[in-house]
Amino acid sequence: MSLRVDVLTLFPEVVRGYAPVSVLGRARERGLWDLYVHDVRDQASDPHRSVDDTPYGGGAGMVLSPEPLARALEALGPRRGPVVALSPSGRPFTQSRARELAREEEITLVCGRYEGFDRRFLDEFVDEEISVGDFVLAGGELAALCVVEAVVRLLPGALGNAESTEEESFSAGLLEYPHYTKPALWRGRPVPDVLVSGDHGRIARWRRAQSLWTTLSRRPDLLRREELSSEDERLVGEFSPVVDSPSVDRLD
């Protein structure tokens, strides 16, 4: 099964320009997914191809008009998957949601711009609003590409090593453990002894402990959602943290 991704945008060249790169490009060549980019301005009804207007009630900025967006979406025909609007006011995008979207046959992403969407379009056509972070961009194109890449790399066969998506950050509710490669000594900094010990059981325990320490230091909100076992408690006592932060001395 191949995933179809439709993107509605005012700047199609932004989306098309990134799609052939790296993982996305290779996965598309393998037939794992395909991309269809649609210019919302093509559905405007005036010579200036207008897609926005001033907000009712006053205020700065412009609002995307509902009709061009609705026409662009209706021109795609019946939907077989979720219609997602990229918006700062949407639900936070997570690895868990990416995995859910990777099981769909089709995804339609609608990129915001200016002050955002007319609420009536969202209520009528959009299944969910997604945000990629607590910040504001000029438009939803980069956010849409974040969603696309996060989803496509989870498709079977998209990555050379299927285990890559199983051990990375957020997959187990924690941030990923630190990585090292050759040389064993770089500018006076050695690789941790445990990683060159050949003891794979101890390496696995060290990596779990480092994931816990890293999450505690940088994203304690994730750790509070993680149910720590007695073994996890023992691990964080057995191994010193690689991260250097004043918050790594406590687990509560």
Question: Is residue 181 in some structural domain?
Answer: yes
The predicted structure's pLDDT at residue 95: 93
**CATH number reported for the structural domain that contains residue 95 in this entry:** 3.40.1280.10
Last-in-domain residue among 152, 180, 206: 152
3-state secondary structure of 104: coil
The predicted structure's pLDDT at residue 124: 96
Residues 137 and 181 both lie in one domain: no
The predicted structure's pLDDT at residue 162: 57
Q: What total of structural domains would you count in the chain?
A: 2
**CATH number reported for the structural domain that contains residue 175 in this entry:** 1.10.1270.20
The predicted structure's pLDDT at residue 161: 61
DSSP 8-class letter at 2: P
Residues 22 and 144 both lie in one domain: yes
Q: How distant, in Å, are the alpha carbons of 27, 116, 133 from that of 64?
A: 33, 6, 21
Residues 205 and 142 both lie in one domain: no
Residues 98 and 211 both lie in one domain: no
The predicted structure's pLDDT at residue 12: 97
Question: Is residue 248 in some structural domain?
Answer: no
The predicted structure's pLDDT at residue 156: 95
The predicted structure's pLDDT at residue 14: 95
Residues 126 and 225 both lie in one domain: no
Question: Is residue 199 in some structural domain?
Answer: yes
Residues 175 and 116 both lie in one domain: no
Residues 118 and 214 both lie in one domain: no
Residues 123 and 192 both lie in one domain: no
Contact 106, 81 (CB under 8 A): yes
Residues 118 and 182 both lie in one domain: no
Please report, as a single letter, which amino acid is at residue 122: L
Residues 145 and 173 both lie in one domain: no
Q: How distant, in Å, are the alpha carbons of 1, 104, 147, 190 from that of 101?
A: 13, 5, 9, 41
| Structural domain harbouring 205 | 169-238
Question: Is residue 225 in some structural domain?
Answer: yes
Task: Encode the chain (252 residues) as per-residue pLDDT tens digits.
Answer: 799 999 999 999 999 999 999 999 999 999 999 999 999 999 998 888 999 999 989 888 999 999 999 999 999 998 779 999 999 999 999 999 999 999 999 999 999 998 899 999 999 999 999 999 999 999 999 999 999 999 999 999 999 765 455 555 555 678 989 999 999 999 999 999 999 999 999 999 999 999 999 988 888 888 865 567 888 889 988 998 987 544 444 444
Which residues is 109 bridged to in the sheet?
A: 7, 84
